[in-house]
Amino acid sequence: MDFRTCVNIQKEWDIVGARQFGRDFSKKLGFGIVDQARIATAISELARNIYLYAGSGKICFDEVENVGSRGICIVAIDTGPGIKDISQVMEDGFSTSGGLGAGLPGVKRLMDEFDITSKTGEGTEIRVVKWVR
């Protein structure tokens, strides 16, 4: 897939950069203030996962369109160790890093669509979509 923009995640500060970009982007697409916060928070979670578990990766943004509605598509790609048990990380309260364990299931609740593919040793790709209401 060809994306309009990508933000590289290497340093901790890149998390803030990515979510600020995502907030501006979603504002341009016409999202309300609450949805802007939802999207920015989801990006923050995704970016932090990349930074914490994979070391480096990128977050890509694009506009998507469907019959009568449009939305934002965000893809987080890394080439880190991958996730062994996807159903486990999608459980509320599961964390290997001492966090709240709200990360991925939280992202799923914040967004409208959520897809995750991961291969051990090769990396993880998480694709989320939110539609303008």
Partner 1 sequence: MAKNLKEILVDNSNGLVHMWLEEVAEKQKEVTNSAISQDLFENTNREFVNIIFGSVEKESLTSDLDSFTERVINLGWPLSYLTDGLQLFKRVAIEFLIEHEELDVPVPKVLRHVDELVNPIINQLVNEYSGSWENTVSLQRVALQELSAPLIPVMDNITVMPLIGTIDTERAKFIMENLLDGVIKHHAEVVLIDITGVPVVDTMVAHHIIQAAEAVRLIGSTCILVGIRPEIAQTIVNLGIDLSKFPTKSSLRKGFTTALEMTNQMIVQTNSEEQTIEELIDSLDRSKQS
Partner 2 sequence: MRIPILKLHNYLLISIQIDLDDQTAIQFQEDLLNKIHQSGATGVVIDLTSVDIIDSFIAKVLGDVVTMSDLMGAKVVLTGIQPAVAVTLIDLGIHLNEVTTALDLEQGLIKLRQELEE
Q: Which residues bind partner 2 (CB under 8 A)?
A: 12-13, 15-16, 19-20, 23, 33-34, 36-38, 40-41, 44-45, 48, 92, 99-100, 102-103, 105-106, 109-110
Answer with the entry of partner 1, partner 2, none that 99 interacts with (C-beta below 5 to 8 A by kind). partner 2
Two tokens at 33? Answer: 């203030």
Any contact of residue 34 with partner 1 (CB under 8 A)? yes
Nearer to partner 1, 62 or 112 (CB): 112
> Shortest CA distance to 86 belongs to which of 39, 126, 128?
126
Residue 119 CB, shortest distance to partner 2, in Å, is 25
CA 112, CA 84: separation in Å to the nearest integer? 24
Shortest separation between residue 109's beta carbon and partner 1, angstroms: 10
**Distance from C-alpha of 133 to C-alpha of 131, rounded to nearest angstrom:** 6
> Do residues 78 and 90 make contact, with C-beta atoms less than 8 angstroms apart?
no
